[in-house]
Amino acid sequence: MSGPPPRVTICMPACEAETTLDRAIASVRAQTVGDWRLIVADDASGDGTWALAQAAAAADPRITALRQPARLGVMNFATGLERADTPFFVWLAADDYWGPRFLESCLNVLARDARAVSALPRCRWIGRIDGPRTDTLDGPVVQRMRRYLAAPGGTRMYGLMRTAIARAAFPRRAMNAYDWVLMTGILRAGPQIEIPEPMLFRDRTDPLRYAAAVEEFHRARLFRRFPVLAMSLAALRAGHVPLANLGDLAALNLRKHEEYLAVMHPGQFARRLRLFRALGLPIATMPGRGAEVAGQIARTDPARRAAAGRVLVRLARLGDGAAALELGHLRQAGLLRGDARAAFARAGELGLADGWFHAALAGGGDWPRIVGAAHRGSEAARAHLARSRDAGRLPAALADVTAYLLARR
């Protein structure tokens, strides 16, 4: 095929991706600019990924299919970068896809702004209307590094980059949060500019899986307990992080340490809860955050269920109404021992009207208490009253007050 030489190398790392690979490749072929080359790097998949990659390469001369002889994991991402001979480079995961103007928009941004080293459209989680943060990181290097280290995320590496800078910034060995090493190198070199239109659509991974993933990378206890310590040392050795940002890097390590303990060792997290609250760490201090993490663990992991329950008990004692409410639900479901009604009542005392409603149900469905919970603002109580009225189960004496409460919604 004749035409202009490619400006962009796209690397698509793929592993066991037979259900999504065609969609990702189709989104590349649908781009409004055609001067690209795509390298599909199959990481020794055991399903039909390799056959699909070969078929795509046979159908379009701009596509190359490569297969790793053995599983490389995150270092499979280096495959396309090492082979890139174009001025611009970008990754597209095999379970993600682009809008048609992704490349055109990113190329225009980098052509207009010689300082920028990466351009990234807004991202949406597939099947949802929300997405991760992709706001522009500009200004002095210390400022943009501080903003990045406050909320690194895993999406920023999927922006279009200047190839030489990306190659220099990519880590030489696998580690947990290897992409953060990459991004500190990118941001040390220049800004990343956000494009306001959503054009990157990603498959959302359960956030708790990231905390567990550290077990795959590090055997040493220290590097497991502090999951981004290896990444931090690598970024410092590479000269990516200015000395003025050491405090930001230390704060990031404390946050990830807290997250690791909360997910992998909730019993230890419970014992250190007061310390983590004193340090202002997010899972221990953000209302509802600790309850969300502990509740998810209790519902999905029997081995850590009791320890997660202790986290909820301690959070409830420290004034977290969401933790008390979740504790009540888990007790009511038989997943944790204890008095569900007492936990619901504690949630009510801490300001959650839904706590009073569930306490009333747990106490036998006392109608005056249910009405009282609805009056306090419990949407669950109001919904229960509405269903009971429609089903003819609502006592006649409560008809007028129920109508009044439902009219105030």
Give the pLDDT of residue 207.
64
Q: What is the pLDDT of residue 252?
A: 97
In a domain, 181, yes or no: yes
Total-model pTM: 0.88
Tell whether 169 is covered by a domain: yes
Query: Is residue 370 in a domain?
Result: no
Quick one: what percent of the chain has pLDDT higher than 90? 79
Question: Which pLDDT does position 297 carry in this prediction?
Answer: 94
In a domain, 97, yes or no: yes
How many domains does the chain fold into? 1
pLDDT at 221: 80
Domain assignment present for residue 1? The answer is no
Instruction: Report residues of the chain scoring pLDDT below 70.
Output: 1-3, 207-212, 218, 404, 409
142, part of any domain? yes
What digits encode the pLDDT tens for the residues 276-292? 999 999 999 999 999 99
Question: What pLDDT, on a 0 to 100 scale, did the predictor assign at position 335?
Answer: 97
Tell me if 264 is assigned to some domain.
Answer: no
Asked whether residue 134 is domain-assigned, the answer is: yes
Report the CATH number at residue 68. Answer: 3.90.550.10
Per-residue pLDDT reduced to its tens digit, 150-170? 999 889 999 999 999 999 999
| First-to-final CA distance of the chain | 64
- pLDDT for residue 1: 46
68 lies in which domain range?
Answer: 8-208
